[in-house]
Amino acid sequence: MDHLKPGDILRNRYQIVEVIGQGGMGCLYKAADLRLEGRYTAVKEIQPDPGSTAEGREQDRRQFQREASILARLDHPNLPKVSDFFSENDRDFLVMDFVPGVDLRQAIDQALRRGEFIAETQVLEWAEQLTAALRYLHAQNPPVLHRDIKPANIKLTPDGLIKLVDFGLVKLLSTDDNRTITVVQGRGTALYTPLEQYGGDMGHTDVRTDLYALGATLYHLLTSMPPAEAKQRFLSPRALRDPRDINPAISDRTARAILWAMSMHPDDRPPNVVAFTDALFGKGMLPPRRLAGTGRGAEFHTLHESRDSTLAQGNVALAILAAILMVVALVVTVAAPAVR
């Protein structure tokens, strides 16, 4: 299906200026609001699944409209405001505030060109704003999951405000049966996606899915290197490097909190964004040092290391016992003539 072109007008109001992003399900456009002079919007276009039936497309549209109405009620300083949604020419559109500035993927590239890392204090300042946005999203009824947190989806405005953008991959967490339903269909980005999200609509995702992606994003920001993908980590549990091996300036607490959030199994991660925030900023407990970030796969190695340690301790005890017995035998041998 053809993309919209500069000059095209949607709903007699939004005039396309340029394409600012695109993917398999549609495009993101910058558009001028013809009713409010000088205002620009970001218009997310969602194209229908070409393999879907007419009935399926109508169901998808009704679902999109229901869920987009929930997104339009969100209001937080670190989120772009959704101002409109509509369907036109067999496509669905979501209209949001256009956020000026650079995204954090560009910030990483700028740091690489300078030959330096982004300062931890700066990354933590951004993290404070991001966790505030997630606390707000996850506190909705039903909770709202982003499911595609990554540096390219985080904008830094000229006045230093962080905005978590691209609502094209948000999910709503249903409270009645604990399943998730997709808004605008999305699978996330592999480098920042936990294993449970690869199940698509059949996979179970919850707030801990966003925590994994946030941890992976902070890892990338602090090291200028993307983390190993979850699928690679499943096959090779030690594929994820400790971020301090890449950037020794990272503090122990920050590294451990990030690795905790990136644990492979959801049950090994912080239970919610509040627990992660407390761990990251020194207000809460961290997991055991050896388990932070290892997940189930590497726990296997940890258990074996523990077993080996136990065996070693047992060997030491046996050696001590043997030494004691030798001393007793020696004493008995020396004392025997005196007894006779």
Catalytic residue among 92, 148, 206, 210: 148
**Is 201 considered catalytic here?**
no
Tokens of 35: 């009713």
How far from 198 is each of 115, 144, 338, CA to CA, in Å? 35, 19, 81
Please give the distance of CA 244 from its chain centroid, rounded to a whole number.
19
Report whether 233 contacts 219 (CB < 8 A): no
CA 311, 314, 320, 322 torsion-angle sign = negative
Q: At what angle do helices 104-114 and 207-223 cross, to 10 degrees?
A: 20
- Radius of gyration of the chain from Cα atoms? 27
State the Cα–Cα distance between residues 320 and 318, nearest whole angstrom: 5
Report whether 217 contacts 193 (CB < 8 A): no
CA 255, 260, 264, 270 torsion-angle sign = negative
162-164 vs 154-156, strand pairing mode: antiparallel
- What residues have CB less than 8 Å from 18, skipping those under 6 apart? 6, 29, 30
**Strand ranges, E, within the chain:** 9-10, 14-23, 26-33, 40-46, 82-88, 91-97, 102-103, 144-145, 154-156, 162-164, 171-173, 180-182
Q: 217-241 as b/e, with b when 16 or more CB fall inside 10 Å?
A: bbbbbbbbebbbbbeebeeebebbe
State the Cα–Cα distance between residues 169 and 205, nearest whole angstrom: 13
Task: Return the bridge partners of 172, or none.
Answer: 144, 181
State the Cα–Cα distance between residues 22 and 2, nearest whole angstrom: 12
State the Cα–Cα distance between residues 297 and 313, nearest whole angstrom: 25
**Residues noted as catalytic:** 148
